[in-house]
Structure 1
Amino acid sequence: MSENTSLIPRANQYGRPSFFEKVSIFFKLLLLPIVLVWTFVFKWSGRTRKRSVCDGRIRYVVTKFNIRQLQYLFGTTRGNYTTWCKQAKQEPQIESIGGDANLLWIGERRPEKVILYLHGGGFLLPPGVTNIAFFAHVVTKLRERGINASVAMLEYTLVPVAAFPTQLKQAVAAINHLMSLGVDPQDIQLAGDSAGANLILQVLAHLLHPLEYENVPPLSLPSPLKGACLISPWVDLSDIHGTLSSGNSTDMLTAGIIRDWGSQVLGPVPREYLGYIEANSAKDDWWKGVDAFADRVLVTAGREECLNNEIIRFKSVFETFHSHVNMQEHSGIHNDPFYAWELGESGGGAPDMIVDWLQAGFQEAAV
């Protein structure tokens, strides 16, 4: 494998910073404690000191390092899943679904009622251990309420190793695989944060407008999916309407970072297919008929995140074609429910609200 990798340009490899980029990582991390002390002393308005330090740490890292450096620091989806398994004292449960993709089961593998988790990270970065632990918490809470659900996280290929529509192909393969195990779509709820929520929208767009580009496989559902949970969905990758800077002073992701990451994802995408990967650039009637493919949709957004205005814009268009859209705008930042849960904060009630919403969907399916 090392011989093959050496033939691939560094720009197309995952997490391969140059020697000088590694040296840069070392020196910039030396400054991080100073940044965190400053953040602790002069905390962000409206946040606890603990939360200010958490948000400040993430903001410093994502704004100071390039993608190769971030991938090097953040590891891989499989590696972070394995780390969580060790912490949770669970044996890794990895299920190949073809196409270089796998399902990584969080908690007990019970293909009866399934939350298919599509992680975020701008299609460039893996899920954090906190994100994985959050969905383990969701499973625990649901089982306390008498619902035996499982979470399967899709391990999809990241940019720059593979570009659109590879991730869509792998998401379609995941749903087809679950149905092949006998899971009815009425017992499947999709959940995704940021780019993962974007990927859910790609799936719904593919159901509405079957995409033959690059041989994306068909997806035929015998019944609608029970739900689609969109946490801070990445609906604008290029700052179409110039609104992203509204959260520059408060969010962990700046408008510049969102645009930079978006350019790396959108770069190879033909213009005629932008609607699949950038929801807010789609034509006005793009989502007509979407209610036939998902019974319920939850959309969350933080008032302090750069994407807030664009998520609200998306919701106002989407709900024109779907009568069961629940919009929860909470007092937080991008992907706030994960950090609020990690620190034991309410996050405007968002963490518990997500559990409640998933519970209601599975209870509806059981009726």
Structure 2
Amino acid sequence: MSEISPLLPRATQYGRPSLMDRIKMFFTLLPLPIVIIWSFLFKSGKTKSKKRVVFDRSLRYVVNSLNVRQLQHVMGTTRGVYDAWCKRNNLGPDVEGVGEGANLLWVGERGLDKVIIYLHGGAFLLPPFTYNLDFFHHVRTVLRQRGVNASVVLVEYTLVPEAIFPTPLKQAVAAINHLMNLGVDPQNMQLVGDSAGGNLVTQVLAHLLHPLESERVPALSLPAPFKGVYVLSPWVDLTNIFKTLDSGEDTDFLTVRTLTSWGSTILGPVSAKNRDYVEPNSAAEDWWKGVDAFVDRVLITAGEDECLKNEIIRFHSTFDNFHSHAKLVVQDEGIHNDPLLDFAVGKRDGSTTQFIIDWLTIGFQEPTS
């Protein structure tokens, strides 16, 4: 996040709530202990632990009760989250500039043999949670235990209101180009994104298919296809186009109101001609024609109980027409970003987590094209 200047309007500054916002935030969070106790006593899941159920309900209360400025103030910045995670894990931060105002934040020791490029979620408004980094550090650890010399790097891209589309796309492309310039072949790269990060991964693929030269997005010329792309609960519908989001209204931690409110914030400045890059499910059915030339394997996961489930299934059904190795997995009793949420409560052996790691392992072990 850039240094706050008192000369800038508050609306253009990241994470700067007004005095009234701060007062409201205090009173909004006062009932949180009641939510926790109520969830512990009266909420249960078929397969989830009580600890996980309490966390899910508490997260739902906080995320849907605070406005964006308040959430940004509470959560901090991507760099702040990363630095705190490194300190907690006795690791030195490893930050590398790539141009376009973006940075690579290495999750563990830096390496250029095989690289997982992680584009985080948060609706292009919020940073990742620390448990997201726990998840990817675990993935890295298991891969190395299996003899796969993989590293994980988080792309620090600029959030709203400090930047709007196509800045995150420019920064993601800059990160990929930087790694290729360092000698990492796309056959040794796997792109992973959750929620808005999954959306950003699809933007990268769309840019490869339909270069966004009019917005001065850097060119991306791959000498070989990416080895894999994995999108976790990708944000493919920002406006509830087909009126299907309410299927998870009572179970997900993100409500329809929050998803569409955030979506209108992100789509508001986007011109009609560029909308398909940002909202994949609004694109024509042949939008993804030719995508199989740019990535070998694609994995898409969703939660059975998340609001975006039906739209993620819709996205897969369209994408699958143009890629013969696009696999969809819908997790039973899962909500938005479910495998990541397990790590918030210390659970590392979830079946979907194991499946994801197995899928990434196979990708890196397969012969290059």
Q: 1:294 to 1:99 in 2, by over 3 A?
A: same
Deviation at 1:133, TM superposition (A): 1.1
Q: What corresponds to 2:125 in structure 1?
A: 124
Answer yes or no: is the 8 Å Cα contact 2:203–2:278 preserved in 1: yes
- 2:72 partner SS: helix
Moved more, 38-47 or 273-282: 38-47
- 2:5 partner SS: helix
Q: What corresponds to 1:361 in structure 2?
A: 363
Deviation at 1:341, TM superposition (A): 3.7
- Distance across 1 between alignment mates of 2:101 and 2:202: 21
Q: What corresponds to 1:338 in structure 2?
A: 340
Deviation at 1:3, TM superposition (A): 9.0
Q: What corresponds to 1:86 in structure 2?
A: 87
Deviation at 1:78, TM superposition (A): 0.2
Q: TM-score normalized by structure 1?
A: 0.97
Q: What corresponds to 1:42 in structure 2?
A: 42
Deviation at 1:7, TM superposition (A): 2.1
Q: What corresponds to 1:351 in structure 2?
A: 353
Deviation at 1:266, TM superposition (A): 0.4
- Distance across 2 between alignment mates of 1:2 and 1:293: 34
Moved more, 3-12 or 232-241: 3-12
Q: TM-score normalized by structure 2?
A: 0.97
Q: 1:358 to 1:178 in 2, by over 3 A?
A: same
- Distance across 1 between alignment mates of 2:22 and 2:300: 38
Unaligned runs of 5+ in 1: none
Q: What corresponds to 2:312 in structure 1?
A: 311
2:16 matches 1:25: no
Deviation at 1:112, TM superposition (A): 1.3
Query: 1:156-175, aligned counterparts within 5 Å?
Result: 156-175=157-176
Residue identity opposite 1:194 in structure 2: S
Q: 1:21 to 1:325 in 2, by over 3 A?
A: same
Residue identity opposite 1:22 in structure 2: R
- 2:52 partner SS: helix
Deviation at 1:343, TM superposition (A): 3.1
Deviation at 1:49, TM superposition (A): 1.7
Instruction: Give CA deviations for 1:336-364 in whole Å, capped at 9, x if unaligned.
Output: 00112443557861111111111000001
- Distance across 1 between alignment mates of 2:3 and 2:143: 47
- Distance across 2 between alignment mates of 1:365 and 1:91: 34
Residue identity opposite 1:136 in structure 2: H
Moved more, 69-78 or 39-48: 39-48
Q: What corresponds to 2:254 in structure 1?
A: 253
Answer yes or no: is the 8 Å Cα contact 2:164–2:269 preserved in 1: yes
Instruction: Give CA deviations for 1:15-37 in whole Å, capped at 9, x if unaligned.
Output: 01001111111122221001110
Answer yes or no: is the 8 Å Cα contact 1:62–1:253 preserved in 2: yes
Answer yes or no: is the 8 Å Cα contact 1:186–1:365 preserved in 2: no
Residue identity opposite 1:84 in structure 2: W
- Distance across 1 between alignment mates of 2:65 and 2:342: 24
Residue identity opposite 1:358 in structure 2: L
Query: 1:36-115, aligned counterparts within 5 Å?
Result: 36-46=36-46, 47-115=48-116
Residue identity opposite 1:285 in structure 2: D
**Root-mean-square deviation (CA), in Å?**
1.6
- 1:6 partner SS: coil
Answer yes or no: is the 8 Å Cα contact 1:337–1:347 preserved in 2: no
- Distance across 1 between alignment mates of 2:218 and 2:3: 32
Unaligned runs of 5+ in 2: none
Point out 4+ residue stretches in structure 1 off by more than 4 angstroms: 1-4, 344-348
Residue identity opposite 2:16 in structure 1: R
- Distance across 1 between alignment mates of 2:115 and 2:8: 37
Q: What corresponds to 2:149 in structure 1?
A: 148
Residue identity opposite 1:277 in structure 2: V
Q: What corresponds to 1:8 in structure 2?
A: 8
Instruction: Give CA deviations for 1:54-111 in whole Å, capped at 9, x if unaligned.
Output: 1011100111100000000011100000011011111000000011100000011011
- 1:5 partner SS: coil
Q: How many residues end up aligned between the 2 structures?
A: 367
Answer yes or no: is the 8 Å Cα contact 1:111–1:150 preserved in 2: yes
- Distance across 2 between alignment mates of 1:280 and 1:316: 11
- 1:210 partner SS: coil
Deviation at 1:4, TM superposition (A): 7.0
Q: What corresponds to 2:289 in structure 1?
A: 288
